Amino acid sequence: MENLLEIRNLKITTLRGKNTVRLLDKVDLSVKKKCSFGVVGESGCGKSITANAILGLLPYPLRVSEGSIRYDSKDGEKELLALSKKEMRAVRGQEISMIFQEPMTSLDPIFTVEMQMFEALSFHHPHMGKGEMRERALEMLRRVNIPRPEQTLSSYAHQLSGGQLQRIMIAIALINDPRLLLADEPTTALDVTIQAQILKLMNDLKEQNDTSIIMITHDLGVIAETCEEVAVFYAGQIVEQASVVELFQHTAHPYTLGLLRAVTSLGGESRKLYTIPGIVPPGGQWSQGCRFADRCEQCREQCRRAMPALREIAPGHLCRCFLHGEEVEA
Amino acid sequence: MRDYIIRRLLTLIPILIGVSIAIFIVMQLIPGDVVSGILGIEETPELRAMWEAKLGLDKPLIQQYFSWIGKALTGDFGESFRTGAPVFPEIMNRFKISAELALLACVIAWIIALPLGILSSLKRNSIIDRIVRVVALLGVSVPNFASATLLILFLSKTFNYYTPVKYVGLFENFGTNMEIMLLPAFILGSVMAGSVMRMTRSSMLEVLRQDYIKAVRAKGAPERVTIFRHAFKNSSIPIVTLIGMQIGGLMGGTVVIEQIFSIPGLGQFTLTGITQRDFPVVQGCVLFIAFLYVVINLLVDILYTYIDPRISYS
């Protein structure tokens, strides 16, 4: 396989009463080896569920109704959606790890950090001795720049700060040298100064370990700092995808443009903070036409009648908008 | 921790004094007294005066109370007005029986409730979950005197079972003792199981939604580790609280069930004491039950610190 991860035609549905409601619609994504891939969009666009689907962690009643997720594992290519529970457990934490938005609630409050780090090792190396596990855990804590790692090992979550906890979560996630790290809004719950430190840490670790990262965020600033490729999600679809440089220089989709305008920046003239009017339509309330039409400043009549196809408007730059071509989604 | 335990035990003093005063007043307020119970139709003013003097009931109320509490502080809970036997050893004998019944009931309740509660939370909204919820609701809402009498009726009609007349101790004959105890323990246990099951289910559902459960799964944890080591242990605090309260109630004897199955436990002893206006018996029993409650609650609070490191009393 050329890519590390290939998602094809992924559809996710949920149950609302007795009705099946689509939450994710025909998503295609390819993550190259040793690459940081950004996924950006507002809440409820389907970013997180895509990441959860990769690890088979969708909460009931969400489920993958169609599609394929192929992954180039240490021992050959795998179709993640076809794995047995046991095979999937071997992938989780060892091949693909995940870190979450809320570091404060991501560690089990009643166990020590040490126990939870050892656990991550022992699930995949059942015969590893205590001494070796301790050494490995300390090494990881040092690598994520935790001061006083020995003391931290015997701490509980409530004794540590959010930034420290997210470092520990990263240490746990990387303890088995995974090839892919899914980072679901890893800095959203942190102070701005801590955010920058965590992003730098993730960048450094990625360089050292050749780990690919899928960075899920609603913050284009985070994407700019950490990613090479980016996909913009809107209402369960990809609306634009390109390299980060291309996306920022030749922004094509009105939604992406809106997101960019909504980024706060220091310096520059002071102005009222821009917001995109309206909210993301929830699953089940999507129109036939372009799903962004109701909030789009450049909406035309055509946009309400048919859905634009995701087409290549420049080499490696995909966009789903009639402003850049008349092709209609099949 | 040691200071905390000592402090908690010290609170026993005002609690027990308060309880003893309340019981003393209530015993005065209810109509009838022990003397007319003893004498029956042979009562004459002379006989009554003689008995009242003998039992110390001729003295002023305040003096009666203080002479009782004075002795109680030295560990002497007095003698039964009716039998003349010392109260405390009898309470201990009865307590052993009630405690055995309580523990059996708990074991039965846990064996039923914990696995079903966990299963129900994992298979949320499935057929299993619905059945478990209905059974739990029945357990909570059917009064135990009703289920006990129905069960005895059913067993006697179909299996020729009869409730044993004479109690046999655990160490006298284990088999016979179990024959006597298992049925009432099952009735008590099923009521307990209902509420424990409901608590287990709701507490587990709450914990299973937490981020750290997903994080544990994302590490590649086998389901059994996720469920028992992480989810169940985290959801056990409210369950332990509930169980603690229930044990407290059961240890003090269960009046109705002991009466129906003629088990000479603490509940039966207390009830007899009340009907006979046997003040030292009632006072002794109630104080002992209050003491049990406080101690069991203290044990539960100490247990919290072992479950959750965020709880500490120092």
User: How confident is the model over B251-269, as pLDDT tens digits?
Assistant: 777 888 888 888 899 999 9
Of A60, A93, A110, the CB nearest to B307: A110
Q: What is the pLDDT of residues B177-213, one digit of tens each?
A: 888 888 889 989 988 999 999 999 999 999 999 999 9
Q: Is A102's CB within 8 Å of B210's CB?
A: no
Tell me what pLDDT residue A287 has. Answer: 85
CB contact under 8 A, A119 and B221: yes
Domains and CATH numbers, chain B: 93-263 (1.10.3720.10)
Work out the minimum CA distance from A214 to partner chain B, whole angstroms: 15
What phi-psi label fits residue A78: left (phi over 0), alpha (psi between -120 and 50 degrees) or beta?
beta
pLDDT band per the 50, 70, 90 thresholds, residue B75: confident
| Minimal C-alpha gap between A305 and chain B (Å) | 40
- According to CATH, what is the number of the domain A5-95+178-324? 3.40.50.300
B41 and chain A: CB distance < 8 Å anywhere? no
State residue B82's pLDDT score.
83
Q: Which of B203, B212, B232 to mutate to test the interface with A (most CBs of A within 10 A)?
A: B212
Length of chain B as a residue count: 314
Which residues are paired to A230 by β-bridges?
A38, A242
- Beta strands at A229-234 and A76-79: parallel, antiparallel or unpaired: unpaired
Contact B218 A57 (CB under 8 A): yes
For A286, B72, B87, B267, the CA distances from B79, given in Å and listed in that order, are: 82, 11, 5, 18
- Res A164: pLDDT: 93
Asked if residues A147 and A159 have their Cβ atoms less than 8 Å apart, the reply is: no
Averaged over B3-22, what is the pLDDT? 88
Angle between helices B61-73 and B12-29 (to 10 degrees): 140
From the list B214, B219, B223, the residue facing A119 with the nearest CB is B219
Question: What does the pLDDT read at residue A265?
Answer: 62
Domain borders along chain A are 5-95+178-324, 105-177
Q: Do B212 and A93 touch (CB under 8 A)?
A: no
pLDDT at B294 over 70: yes
Distance from CA of A20 to the nearest CA of B (A): 17
B221 part of contact set with chain A, CB < 8 Å: yes
| Inter-chain CB proximity B218 and A60 less than 8 Å | no
Percent of chain B with pLDDT over 70: 100
Contacts of A94 in chain B (CB under 8 A): 220
- The answer, for B313 touching chain A at a CB cutoff of 8 Å, is no
Q: Chain B: nearest CA to A286, how far in angstroms?
A: 28
Q: Provide, as residue numbers in chain A, all residues whose Cβ is less than 8 Å from the Cβ of B129.
A: none
Residue A171, pLDDT score: 94
3 state SS for chain A: CCCCEEEEEEEEEEEECCEEEEEEEEEEEEECCCCEEEEECCCCCCHHHHHHHHCCCCCCCCEEEEEEEEEEECCEEEEHHHCCHHHHHHHECCCEEEECCCHHHHCCCCCCHHHHHHHHHHHHCCCCCHHHHHHHHHHHHHHCCCCCHHHHHCCCHHHCCHHHHHHHHHHHHHCCCCCEEEEECCCCCCCHHHHHHHHHHHHHHHHHHCCEEEEEECCHHHHHHHCCEEEEEECCEEEEEEEHHHHHHCCCCHHHHHHHHCCCCCCCCCCCCCCCCCCCCCCCCCCCCCCCHHHCCCCCHHHHHCCECCEEEECCEEECCHHHCCCECC
pLDDT band at B109, cuts 50/70/90? very high
What does the pLDDT read at residue B41?
A: 79
* Interior angle at CA B32, CA B31 and CA B33, nearest 5: 130
| B283 pLDDT higher than 90 | no
Low-confidence stretches of chain A (pLDDT < 70) are: 264-271
Chain A touched by B237 (CB under 8 Å): no
Whether B288 has a pLDDT exceeding 70, the answer reads yes
What are residue A186's phi and psi, to 5 degrees? -70, -15
Q: How far is B125 from chain A (nearest CA, A)?
A: 11
Which pLDDT score is estimated for A264? 65
Considering only CB atoms, which chain A residues are within 8 Å of B308? 109-110
- From B3's Cα to the closest Cα of chain A, the distance in A is 24
